[in-house]
Amino acid sequence: MELFPRERADPAPGVVHLPDWLSPAEQRELVAACREWARPPAGMRTVRMPNGGEMSVRSLSLGWHWYPYRYVRTVEDGDGSPVKPFPPVLGELARRALADAYGPEPTGIAGTADYRPDIGVVNHYAHGAHMGLHQDKDERVDAPVVSLSIGDGCVFRLGNTETRTRPWTDLELRSGDLLVFGGPMRFAYHGVPRTHPRTADPALGLVGRLNITIRQSGLV
């Protein structure tokens, strides 16, 4: 519990951070859902990069299966199973997220008028896991990315759209926080240089950090 509630922040145009957006009950429900989604077939796996390295987070996809650097309908880089369907609950959360972040009729944010999210990517950060600076650019449309954080806190590095280098802004994301990035920052570089192990509420029953991003593929 904070002495003063953390407040909404708009760290860059099109980027909105809403602390404690998910209630504790919603966080527990999402942890339970992620546990189900993580089971095989098409469950949580380690992602291998084209250079042979492995990502330190473990991931699963819903709706469309992501692996570097495209979306497909089966886990081509794993057990070959069809990807699990995109869960309606994630679509509902994402629509509510855009309304809360940008208002009921956002102007100037691409992809909000005909928003049809169809991808969920769940990443689990064990202690010591991180994610290097990258762009989410395998989607074919520029609808905003909705990001939900559950469990341990982390440093989220929000870079710029031009380079993988500075300038960047480091944000602190904690359990229940919503981050939306769209508009001019939709294709900004971003990453998670570190998490803060054991900062989650033990009542969550989660070790490490979960991040769920909800996206629109623009694929049919």
Ligand X SMILES: O=C(O)CCC(=O)C(=O)O
* Binding-site residues for Fe cation: 134, 136, 190
- Binding segment for Fe ion among 1-9, 79-87, 133-141, 156-164 (CB under 5 A)? 133-141
CB of 156 to ligand X, least distance (A): 5
Comparing CB distances to Fe ion, the nearer of 30 and 179 is 179
DSSP state of 40: S
Residue 29: which of 204, 211, 216 has the closest Cα? 204
CB of 8 to Fe ion, least distance (A): 22
- 139 scored as a contact of Fe ion (CB under 5 A): no
* Alpha-carbon span 141 to 2, nearest angstrom: 38
* Alpha-carbon span 127 to 56, nearest angstrom: 10
Choose among ligand X, Fe ion, none what residue 123 binds, the Cβ cut-off being 5 to 8 Å by kind: ligand X
The interface with ligand X within residues 143-172 (CB under 6 A) comprises 147, 156
Answer whether the bond into residue 41 is a cis peptide, omega within 30°: yes
Choose among ligand X, Fe ion, none what residue 42 binds, the Cβ cut-off being 5 to 8 Å by kind: none
- 136 scored as a contact of Fe ion (CB under 5 A): yes
Half-sphere exposure at residue 19, Cβ-oriented, CA atoms within 13 angstroms: 15
**Could you tell me if 57 and 117 are in contact, meaning their C-beta atoms sit under 8 angstroms apart?**
no
> Footprint of Fe ion on this chain (CB under 5 A)?
136
